[in-house]
Amino acid sequence: MPVLKRGWVKLVLVVLGVIWMIPELYMISISLRSPANAFDPHLIAFPFTLLNYSIVLSQNPLIRYFDNSLIVTVATVVIVLVVASLSAFGISILRLRGSGLVYGLLLVTLMVPLTALVVPLAILLGQLRWINTYEGLIGPYSALGIPFAIVVLKAFFDEFPREIHEAAVLDGCGAWQLFRMVVLPTVRPALGFVAVWQFITSWNEFFLALVVMTRSSMKTLPLAPMEYSGMYMANPGALFAILVIIAVPLILMYIAVQRVFVAGLLEGAIKG
Amino acid sequence: MPSRALAARRHARRQRPFHHLFVLPALAIFALFVAYPIGWVAYTSLFAVSLHGVSHWAGLGNYRSVLDNPTFWIVVRNMFYWALITIPVQMVIGGLLAWAVEEYTHRSRALFRTLFFVPVITSVVVIAIVWSNIYAPYYGILQQGLSEIGIHFQTALLGSAGTAIFAIIIVNVWEWTGFSMLMYIAGLKTIPVQLLEAARMDGASGINLARFVLVPALSGVNRSLLLLGVIGTLQTFPLVFLMTDGGPDHASEVFGTYIFRHGFVLGQTGYASALSVVVLVIALVMTLLQIRFLGSKFSLKG
């Protein structure tokens, strides 16, 4: 590889990387501004202040929104992991009769845009009296997340050696034991990948949350900025402090687990 | 050995009724949250439903009013803009980034992989508000930044009918290019090292290497991104809702905002249901077309 060419490519990558980060830096920059310089049209405007963070953390039920998001997201991740791994096991390892049909139906779900489901889902949740409840988001989020999880997990399960399966069955290992003790431990990278992706999508979901959580005490974090945009019209710094509080923890979490996430994706790619 | 395997298979078959419990939860969730809503929306689209819940048979009346509404055709036009710009641009930039990151970096590889992926993880609500500020006239950094390099303009990009949808499309490209990049990185990992080495030995490089080796080997990623791009286009909502709410005067309206307005703001459930069915049909047709012409396998392999 010519050294000169490598240098140029790296330079382009660095420049693009910096440009890519401007919106994120801008967000942090505005959150550090007082009302006096909040409308300064530059990326960075001095002086910095942390006042906005103490304003939003003391005045608002942000913690409540954070808790709501956490409950909905964690419950969804757990349900998706359990239900999807059970199904992928049934389809891929047990090769149940009708597996093809079940898998086909799940693939169809993958192609259904949420836009087309939001009206009937709102009616259904109304009938179930699930509006303004955690179940009202956990149910649909799980339903929409499970198909993708099954596709990913099935690709991993398909690689599971048939001989080990048969040996285990002959040794008197039942289907449940086979699942728990033998198959599940071998697909941990896939489970990690699915968990991280499901966490990100549920945590950030906006459309259904907007429709289902109309009561203030039940709102999830992505709905918080709408609640406060009017209140902080004259002090955008406070609104942007809320944005930082919404975005940055998830980004830090991703950085912490990105090794697991990328490893799961790469391994899945080679198998799929 | 074959008889052992046969015995095992027979053993497995004997337990089958209980085995179906493994797929039951997924099927139940599918029936409740996907199949039932689709059936309901198709049925309701045939009724005129008013705000007070009174409904009467309308036949295809809702569909006729959907097609007669000029705003619907603006939505269709915007969806074409959206798909035809975001999908190829995200694929090309994402693919080039993947190649550059994997081929030309070593110690900084994880850094670049993460850096371009950060917008994908950033809450779309946050993205919408930050970019509205970037685009803002007078105090937005885009106008200021461009004027410092000699480009002056005084348009409110989100407030003008001619530019609003394109301004939002740029945000979508920024948000999702990192996703394409990561998918292509995964795809590159599936190419056997020997294949690349053989191609290089034969003197393939640059454009030729890309055209005859990489692009065919990455066709699985291309297919997946195309499919996800179409579905993503049809479910566009938060960016448009928060940045322009479909305005000015419906110029940036998309299916998401259009259905939300009729279904939840105006309370026209029948009309919104007909729109939902139209979206479902478009998704179905696009998926079938892709399967017909590009194959059905959903995979990152070539």
Minimal-distance CA residue of chain A relative to B127: A23
Interface check A180 vs B, CB under 8 A: no
pLDDT greater at residue A99 or residue A261: A261
Q: Looking at residue A205, what is its pLDDT? A: 96
Interface check B112 vs A, CB under 8 A: yes
Of B168, B180, B161, nearest in space to B239 by CA: B168
Tell me: pLDDT of B112 over 60.
yes
pLDDT band at A48 (very low <50, low <70, confident <90, very high): confident
Q: Which residues of B39-55 are buried (b: 16+ CB within 10 A; e: fewer)?
A: ebbbebbbbbbeeeeee
**Contact predicate A124/A212, CB 8 Å:** no
When the pLDDT of each residue in chain B is averaged and rounded to a whole number, the result is: 87
pLDDT band at B243 (very low <50, low <70, confident <90, very high): very high
pLDDT band at B3 (very low <50, low <70, confident <90, very high): low
Tell me: pLDDT of B130 over 90.
yes
Min mean pLDDT across A204-213, A256-265, B205-214 is at B205-214
Tell me: pLDDT of A172 over 70.
yes
Q: Which of the residues B1, B18, B21, B29 would you substitute to probe the A interface, choosing the one with the greatest number of A C-beta atoms within 10 Å?
A: B29
Of A202, A250, A215, A218, nearest in space to A64 by CA: A218
Which residues of B fall within a CB distance of 8 Å from A166? 4-5, 8-9
Which residues of B fall within a CB distance of 8 Å from A114? 235, 237
Question: Is the Cβ pair B114, A142 closer than 8 Å?
Answer: no
Which residues of B fall within a CB distance of 8 Å from A165? 8
Q: Which of the residues A115, A223, A253 would you substitute to probe the B interface, choosing the one with the greatest number of B C-beta atoms within 10 Å?
A: A115
Tell me: pLDDT of A233 over 80.
no
- How many other CB atoms sit within 10 Å of the CB of residue A256? 9
Question: Which residues of chain A from 39 to 58 reach within 8 Å of chain B, CB to CB?
Answer: 39-43
Q: Looking at residue B277, what is its pLDDT? A: 96
Torsions phi, psi for B48 (to 5 deg): -90, 115
* Structure tokens that stand for B153 in this block: 């303009």
The nearest CA of chain A is from the CA of B81 a distance in Å of 18
Torsions phi, psi for B295 (to 5 deg): 95, 165
Which residues of A fall within a CB distance of 8 Å from B206? none
Tell me: pLDDT of A27 over 60.
yes
Interface check A260 vs B, CB under 8 A: no
Q: Which of the residues B32, B121, B289 would you substitute to probe the A interface, choosing the one with the greatest number of A C-beta atoms within 10 Å?
A: B121
Minimal-distance CA residue of chain A relative to B136: A41
* Structure tokens that stand for B194 in this block: 């020997």
Q: Which residues are CB-contacts of A95 (< 8 A; sequence separation ≥ 6)? A: none
Which residues of A fall within a CB distance of 8 Å from B30? 105-106, 109, 143, 146
pLDDT band at A3 (very low <50, low <70, confident <90, very high): low
- Out of B20, B123, B144, the one facing A42 most closely (by C-beta) is B144
Question: Is the Cβ pair B37, A124 closer than 8 Å?
Answer: yes
Question: Which residues of chain A from 138 to 157 reach within 8 Å of chain B, CB to CB?
Answer: 139-140, 142-144, 146, 150-151, 155
ipTM of the complex: 0.91
Which domains are seen in chain A, by residue range? 3-51 (no CATH), 61-271 (1.10.3720.10)
The nearest CA of chain B is from the CA of A181 a distance in Å of 16
Tell me: pLDDT of B298 over 70.
no
A226-229 long-range contacts, Cβ below 8 Å, gap at least 24?
Answer: A226/B125, A226/B242, A228/A56, A228/A60, A229/B129
Torsions phi, psi for B55 (to 5 deg): -135, 150
Q: Looking at residue A229, what is its pLDDT? A: 78
Which domains are seen in chain B, by residue range? 80-253 (1.10.3720.10)
Question: Is the Cβ pair A119, B41 closer than 8 Å?
Answer: yes
- Out of B12, B23, B259, the one facing A119 most closely (by C-beta) is B259
* Structure tokens that stand for A11 in this block: 């330079």
